[in-house]
């Protein structure tokens, strides 16, 4: 038997057919073409990709246990509706039902917010496998969050919970697009790291950061780590500053949830232990349950770009 | 049928016999005498108080559905053990079993951390009644937290979760006893309000705060609110500052949990709507789910000093 996971992303609609252990057997994708066509057309592409993959496995839909969609925005997982997604001006769009229709009435079709689905994917088939409670923090353009309690996604009473990146860790700090100031994501996202790198470069004209990125426009999430590995003091300061903010936010999450596993993902985590070790040391020093024999395990997410697909496929498995 | 709730406090051991709806019928208490006697002796007093109340109700223990103990510290609710409580240097103390023994083998005896129990009490019989998910924030000497999800206490995998007051909201801010800097409780506890009041008084020698509290030693959690009501500008600044920090921390919790009800308790909440209204306005403006039709309801806790008793009695009801 199979499951299907659909990652409805801003750039691509990626679909995967998995086995019962959520291992991806076949994958296919099409460009989302956001802003260029109706969402109904995008759902038609989802249906086409599902059909294509089922055929590729020489299977039939009768052998598919569930289809799941991971979507951005506020997703009502009970009704399978995108309640709100500003990126496409979606409001109360019954995506699960529409996909079901386009697949000749196939059921069940589940839905969840993409960050939440990714968290579930890591718990059921990734770096947090086996954990009953886990958090997933994605360090990307922003800081995304997913909460898994008792192997189920925690969504809050209005399906809008887990905006972990929009917790203020520096009151009256850097303005955030959400309207607040000092949100964690302004410091711990890749965007935050890039900002800190640029600020340091402007302050330190002599830094080797300038040889890694010859102009401010060339700065990315790797610039500071690359220069720090070359021994540049200014770059080391940026890395320390970035990891300090990250650890403060992560320690907040540990003090709130004491999850079995705290999973961090996103491009910055490509640094691996270089990032993980000092951050873990600080989180363990700052977290409240120092006396407890059981401490939260900090790990790097393992599903990478497949997190959405696996998480969406996992939705049917966590019911 | 009845339930019994025991609030194992630093000053008093308070016990209540409730009906099945968690309404307290009889109450009794004895001083804890912490530091002056063994914890076994304290548990003997708990047993004596339980027996006394059962007699007072002309009942027998066969009519008691459950006994619950709300205790400070890290409480393992599965084993009924105080894993750690620094206030009494307790380590892995099997309080539930010992109480059971002293009551001739009465079962079940449940345990929970006191802040968690209070949260459950508010959900099952207090200001958050009917909510499936709720948070309880107590503004006292510190900022205590309790998380209720699906009408059950959320404790984390090591029973040490919900240290909501130990989340940093001002990085590198006021040093906290936990070792971190800028914890929410340094700003939003009664202690934080008193500190802010004193700081303002030293800055503004002309303020009417000095007529409400003739010396800094006389400042308490009401000083600023009293002077603000008299129109004193400096006092109003203190109140605004206090409520600003409180709202920032509460909005963080809403963004994380999107609970149906967010319950605030503790002495400062005696200010009622004077405190609640401006804080609610700011929380709603800062929280992320502005587009959602369903918004977290911010309320003031209703159980007051009975929260521990009712919460402890509620432990048996939430299984």
Q: What confidence tens digit (pLDDT) does each residue in B60-69 have?
A: 999 999 999 9
pLDDT at A296: 98
- Looking at the complex, report in whole angstroms how far the Cα of residue B289 sits from the nearest Cα belonging to chain A: 6
From chain A residues 152-171, the ones with a CB under 8 A of any chain B CB are 154-164, 166-171
H runs (alpha helix) in chain A: 39-56, 95-102, 114-125, 185-188, 190-203, 209-212, 223-229, 233-257, 273-286, 307-315
Say how many Å lie between the first and final Cα of chain A, rounded: 17
From chain A residues 277-296, the ones with a CB under 8 A of any chain B CB are 285-286, 288-289, 291-296
Do the beta carbons of residue A64 and residue A2 sit within 8 Å? yes
Which residue's entry shows tokens 């936990």? B178
On the question of a cis peptide bond just before residue B303, with omega within 30 degrees of 0, the verdict is: no
A260/B contact by beta carbon, under 8 A: yes
From chain A residues 299-318, the ones with a CB under 8 A of any chain B CB are none
* A93: number of Cβ within 10 Å: 22
Buried-state track B159-189, b at ≥16 Cβ within 10 A, e below 16:
bbbbbbbbbbbbbebeebebebbbbbbbbbb
pLDDT at B87: 78
Confidence (pTM): 0.95
- Pairwise CB contact (< 8 Å): B164 & A256: yes
Comparing alpha-carbon positions, the chain B residue that sits nearest to A179 is: B286
Task: Determine which helix (DSSP H) or strand (DSSP E) holds B199, and give its type and residue range.
Answer: helix B190-203
Which residue's entry shows tokens 């508010």? B122
pLDDT at A318: 81
- Pairwise CB contact (< 8 Å): A158 & B292: yes
* A300: number of Cβ within 10 Å: 18
**How many angstroms separate the CA atoms of B231 and B219, rounded?**
18
Buried-state track A242-277, b at ≥16 Cβ within 10 A, e below 16:
bbbbbbbbbbbbbbbbbbbbbbbbbbbbebeeebbe
Buried-state track A193-209, b at ≥16 Cβ within 10 A, e below 16:
bbbbbbebbeebeebbb
Q: What totals of helices (H) and strands (E) does chain A contain, helices first?
A: 10, 13
Do the beta carbons of residue B188 and residue B143 sit within 8 Å? yes
By DSSP bridging, strand A134-139 and strand A261-265 are: parallel
**How many angstroms separate the CA atoms of B110 and B97, rounded?**
9
**Structure-token pair, residue B29:** 């208490």
How far lies B318's CA from each of A172, B38, B79, B121, B144, in Å? 40, 31, 16, 10, 21
Give the one of A133, A163, A248 whose C-beta lies nearest to B171's C-beta. Answer: A248
Query: Helix, strand, coil % (nearest 5) of chain B?
Result: 45, 25, 35
CB pairs under 8 A between A and B: 137
Complex ipTM > 0.90: yes
Do the beta carbons of residue A300 and residue A272 sit within 8 Å? yes
Coil vs helix vs strand at A82? strand
pLDDT lower than 70: segments of chain B: none
Residue-by-residue pLDDT tens, chain A, 319 positions: 999 999 999 899 999 999 999 999 999 999 999 989 999 999 999 999 999 999 999 999 999 999 999 999 999 999 999 998 877 888 899 999 999 999 999 999 999 999 999 999 999 999 999 999 999 999 999 999 999 999 999 999 999 999 999 999 999 999 999 999 999 999 999 999 999 999 999 999 999 999 999 999 999 999 999 999 999 999 999 999 999 999 999 999 999 999 999 999 998 999 999 999 999 999 999 999 888 889 999 999 999 999 999 999 999 988 7
């Amino acid at each position: 038997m199979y499951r299907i996971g659909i990652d409805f992303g801003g750039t691509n609609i990626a679909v995967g057919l998995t086995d019962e252990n959520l291992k991806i057997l076949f994958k296919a994708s099409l460009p989302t073409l956001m802003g260029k066509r109706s969402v109904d057309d995008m759902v038609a592409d989802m249906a086409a990709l599902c059909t294509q993959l089922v055929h590729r496995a020489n299977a039939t839909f009768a052998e598919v246990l569930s289809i799941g969609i991971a979507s951005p925005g506020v997703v009502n997982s009970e009704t399978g509706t995108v309640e709100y997604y500003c990126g496409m001006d979606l409001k109360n769009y019954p995506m699960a039902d529409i996909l079901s229709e386009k697949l000749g009435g196939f059921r069940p079709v589940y839905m969840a917010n993409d960050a939440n689905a990714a968290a579930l994917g890591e718990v059921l088939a990734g770096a947090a496998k086996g954990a009953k409670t886990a958090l997933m923090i994605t360090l990307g353009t922003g800081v995304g969050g997913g909460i898994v309690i008792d192997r189920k996604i925690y969504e809050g009473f209005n399906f809008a919970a887990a905006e972990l990146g929009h917790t203020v860790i520096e009151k009256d700090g850097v303005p955030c697009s959400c309207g607040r100031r000092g949100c964690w994501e302004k410091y711990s996202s890749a965007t935050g790291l890039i900002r800190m790198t640029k600020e340091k470069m402007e302050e330190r004209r002599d830094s080797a950061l300038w040889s890694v990125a010859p102009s401010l426009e060339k700065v990315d999430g790797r610039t500071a780590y690359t220069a720090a590995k070359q021994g540049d003091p200014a770059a080391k300061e940026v890395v320390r500053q970035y990891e300090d903010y990250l650890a403060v936010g992560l320690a907040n999450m540990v003090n709130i949830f004491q999850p079995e596993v705290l999973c961090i993902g996103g491009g910055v985590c490509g640094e691996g232990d270089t990032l993980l070790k000092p951050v873990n040391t600080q989180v363990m020093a700052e977290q409240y349950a120092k006396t407890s024999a059981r401490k939260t395990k900090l790990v790097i997410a393992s599903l990478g770009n497949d997190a959405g697909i696996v998480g969406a496929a996992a939705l049917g498995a966590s019911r």
